[in-house]
Amino acid sequence: MIEAGLRVAGRASELRHEFDRSFAEPRFTGNSAIEDFLAIRLGAQDLAIRLPEIAGLFADKKSTPVPGGGAALLGIAGFRRSIVPVYDLRKLMGIPGSAVTRWIVIVAAAPVALAFEAFEGQLRVSLDAVAAEHAQTKAHTHTQGFVQSEKMLRPIIDLRSVLDVIKTSERSTRLAPSQ
């Protein structure tokens, strides 16, 4: 009888220790390589932006128009004690139409803000859900790869390509003769 009680007490102690240890160890997700994205929409196009490529997401931020900018420049706005230019992401990507932009992301690689109309959530996916694109599946000139969300395949915006468009338009605006 005493021996059975000792076995139960020992097993209970072992189970308690395993339970406590399970909270101290990192969870195994099945595939340790995970990537995060913002799911956004520009017009009828569902797209994604890699989360590490942005420094912030803001809603309903007002920008002040400035003269002399290109067609995509909406103005300037203050973010965390910095003033940055705000560009219409739809125009930079060459997507036709116009819409009220409600959301803004700050690009991590440059002091630039990109405005878009709809934020649809955050995607956390395994690397298996991220695919490179081939020439025949290229969704747009400023996308690079696809991410599979629960409902659809979303092209991933290539922010470096978008920043190149901004640099090119700034250069051409500076070189244009004043009127």
Identify which has the larger pLDDT, 146 or 141.
146
Element housing 160 (H / E): helix 159-175
**Mean local confidence (pLDDT), 59-84:** 91
**For residues 102 and 116, what is the distance between their CA atoms, to the nearest angstrom?**
6
Domain spans of the chain, in order of start: 34-173
Distance, CA of 77 to CA of 65 (rounded, Å): 9
**Token pair 């991590």: residue:** 108
pLDDT digit string, tens, across residues 7-35: 777 777 776 766 665 555 444 455 458 99
User: pTM of the prediction?
Assistant: 0.75
Tokens of 166: 């901004």
What letter does residue 28 receive in the DSSP assignment?
P
Q: Is the pLDDT of residue 64 over 90?
A: yes
Residues whose CB falls within 8 Å of the CB of residue 32, separated by 6 or more in sequence, listed in order? none
CB atoms under 10 Å from CB of 67, counted, come to 5
- Nearest-5° Cα angle at 39, 35 to 41: 155
pLDDT at 57 over 80: yes
* Per-residue pLDDT band at 98 (split at 50, 70, 90): confident
- Region 129-156: what's the mean pLDDT? 78
CATH fold label, 34-173: OB fold (Dihydrolipoamide Acetyltransferase, E2P) (2.40.50)
Q: Between residues 4 and 105, which one has the greater pLDDT?
A: 105
